A and B are shown apart, each in its own frame.
Chain A
């Protein structure tokens, strides 16, 4: 009984910590969807690029050939987040050009998907990453004990940032004037422009913020699991599924979904339902996510069936 209790305690603590990392990318996806009503795969590309860039900026293993700046990890994180914000801004400015904004949503989504693949391709080939090499953490190598479970300072910092970001952004979006304008753009872009909302400015600003958050997510993934492009793409897909739980509109629901994913995945990994099996674990996890998505769609149809008119 005690063994089971200890195991569950570990699952909960580690799962919640894992959720911190999973919550970051959905924040970027939800923000960009709220302003453009398109799935901005480009922010996945920014996250993946920032993982590769973070590795390049801070990894200091002399065995790997090629010049790298070897920045202090925290400085490297700041640089990568700034670059990601600039990439998000460039995308935001591009998609708010009236002729581009008038394109069908599906076209913009495909453009975004293409931009993601191009970004990953360019950075993977030019930075000569070594997928199995893990760069140092921007938050040091400290350890923290939470309910008798040892967590790295990286995981704790990631979780803290995710929760703070979700709470701060949710409050900003629901209480500020800009949040109201963002909601109006999401409802009807053209009508927002007729009301005097500076649509291009709000759109570019939101994509900049989403780019910064995606960059943060990518750098922290690299610090935790390394810059393996395959892992990064799987992480992006997981982030997308989590964002869909909230209809791509709700930050708190995305955070809740990332908690479920973090805890369930940790439970399956430590063998709660038997020996580790990747296929079975993925099946169980995705089945739970599907049930979650359907439940939210039923309970909060507004999140899923908003009347759609135009996008940026």
Chain B
């Protein structure tokens, strides 16, 4: 298991006395695409935000690259190689596409920003002609590419992607998933949170099911026979 990029050990997360995630044990390895599925409110978003560092942990540990990152703030986790593309894209709508991407490189020395930009534009050439355009005026698909590109700017080892297909046309969803497969092929561990009906088993190496705050491995019916 030396190629495990992130692992959770008996992780519990909640808000006050309300427990959202309970005793979660999961891991994602380098180059692997793991899809986390569940109903609305099952805890997908909470798990991803806990991994990036903006939700406090009640119990358990988060191991990132072999180190205990449970108490690390978000900026330290980003610097350690975690990228996050959130639900609804959350691009900086009043800033240009280029500025959005450069903010994504906040954890990098300024001298390495350009390299990150070139890498992202190679993956998403659609953004090249729109660098000066305000992000809020992009189409949904372009905003999704920008959100993923922004998370890729520092060259993460783990990419967390929340509902990448939300509100997109099938052809654009294919384009986004092709890009995610290419990212994983480069050795990045990819954890995708999706709704049941959007799961892309063809792209996923494993599927995890989250239900009432507990995570279990999905077993296709054929495998059980």
With A180-B103, A196-B154 known as contacts, the answer to whether A187 contacts B78 (CB < 8 A) is: no
Question: Across the interface, do A180 and B99 meet the contact criterion of CB distance under 8 Å?
Answer: yes
The answer to whether residues A184 and B92 also contact, given A192-B103, A196-B154 and a CB cut-off of 8 A, is yes
Across the interface, do A181 and B106 meet the contact criterion of CB distance under 8 Å?
yes
Contact residues, B70-120 vs A (CB, 8 A): 74-75, 78-79, 84, 86, 90-95, 99, 102-104, 106-107, 110
B54 CB within 8 Å of chain A: yes
Does A306 sit within 8 A of B, measured CB to CB? yes
Instruction: Answer yes or no: A302 CB below 8 A from chain B CBs.
Output: yes
What is the CA–CA distance of A309 and B89 in the complex, to the nearest angstrom?
A: 13
Cα distance A181–B100 when bound, in Å? 10
In contact, B102 and A180 (Cβ under 8 angstroms)? yes
A198 in the interface (beta carbon within 8 A): yes
Q: Which of A184, A190, A302, A306 contacts B103 (CB 8 A)?
A: A184
Give bound CA distance, A72 to B153, whole Å: 52
Smallest beta-carbon distance A278→chain B, Å: 40
| Chain A residue contacts of B79, Cβ below 8 A | 196
User: In the complex the two chains form, is A183's CB within 8 Å of B92's CB?
Assistant: yes
B157 within 8 A of A: no
Taking CB atoms and an 8 Å cut-off, the chain A residues in 153-203 that contact chain B are: 177, 180-181, 183-184, 187-188, 190-199
Q: Are A195 and B94 in contact (CB under 8 A)?
A: no
A307 at the interface (CB under 8 A from B): yes
CA distance in complex: A191, B86 (Å): 8
- Establish whether residues A188 and B92, one from each chain, have CB atoms under 8 Å apart when the complex forms: yes
Min CB gap B76→A, angstroms: 9
Q: With A181-B103, A190-B54 in contact, is A196–B74 under 8 Å at CB? A: yes
Asked if residues B92 and A187 are in contact (CB atoms below 8 Å), the reply is yes
- Report yes or no: B90 in contact with A191, Cβ–Cβ below 8 A: yes
Q: Which of B8-62 contact A (CB under 8 A)?
A: 52-54
- Assess whether A187 is in contact with B104, with CB atoms less than 8 Å apart: no
User: Closest CB-CB distance, A34 to chain B, in whole Å?
Assistant: 12
Judge whether A197 and B103 touch: CB under 8 Å. Answer: yes
Contacting pair A184 B95 (CB below 8 A): yes
User: Which of A183, A188, A196 lies in contact with B99, CB distance below 8 A?
Assistant: A183
Contact A187 B154 (CB under 8 A): no
5 A-B pairs besides A177-B102, A194-B78 with CB distance below 8 A are A192-B103, A193-B53, A195-B150, A196-B106, A302-B94
Interface of B with A (CB < 8 Å)? 52-54, 74-75, 78-79, 84, 86, 90-95, 99, 102-104, 106-107, 110, 136, 150-151, 153-154
A contacts, CB < 8 Å to B: 177, 180-181, 183-184, 187-188, 190-199, 302, 306-307, 309
